[in-house]
Amino acid sequence: MARTVHLLTEPFNPGAYVGPFTNAHPGLGGVCTFVGEVRGDAEVEALELLHYDRLTLKGMEELADQALQRFDLMGILVVHRSGVMHVGEPIVLVSAAAKHRRDAIDAVDFTMDHLKSDSWFWKREKRSDGWHWIEPRARDHADLARWG
């Protein structure tokens, strides 16, 4: 099982990661990929993700390991941005390769639920009236709770 985790400070092209990841797993039955981008909300000018360097990458690697242990995967790829991002820029990419689609789909869902609600990032949005901190919503916490 292969685990690839990247924490980036510059914009990235998701296809540049997904193509090589898929090619590295011959015989797979399916790949599930999720790419999260900065939403084009009318008020949002930018999104900033801050983090604590000593914990973030290690935590992301541990989360990827949990997905590998929990689901029958051939590999998992996690790419996450930090810093200031603008509308339409990718924030996060999670891709899972498996012999069967359900494991790949569930692994991506599990990983995203943890990254969204239980991760090492502090998020804030820049709007016309300045910066505003963003907290996980009740729905985000409910999504996370599904995984026990």
Residue 93, pLDDT score: 98
118: confidence class by pLDDT, cuts 50, 70, 90: confident
Q: Which of 7, 9, 13, 11 is nearest to 115 (CA)?
A: 7
Residue 120, pLDDT score: 84
Dihedral angle, C-alpha 60, 63, 68, 73, nearest 10 °:
-70
Q: Which of 80, 86, 90 is nearest to 44 (CA)?
A: 86
Question: What is the extent of the structural domain holding 83?
Answer: 2-145
Residue 21, pLDDT score: 96
138: confidence class by pLDDT, cuts 50, 70, 90: confident
Q: Return mean pLDDT, the chain.
A: 93
> Residue 142 pLDDT > 90, yes or no?
no
Residue 40, pLDDT score: 79
Tally of domains in the chain: 1
> Residue 1 pLDDT > 80, yes or no?
no
The tens digit of pLDDT for each residue in 57-107 reads 999 999 999 999 999 999 999 999 999 999 999 999 999 999 999 999 999
Q: Which of 14, 60, 67 is nearest to 37 (CA)?
A: 14
The CATH number of the domain where 85 resides is what? 3.90.1170.40
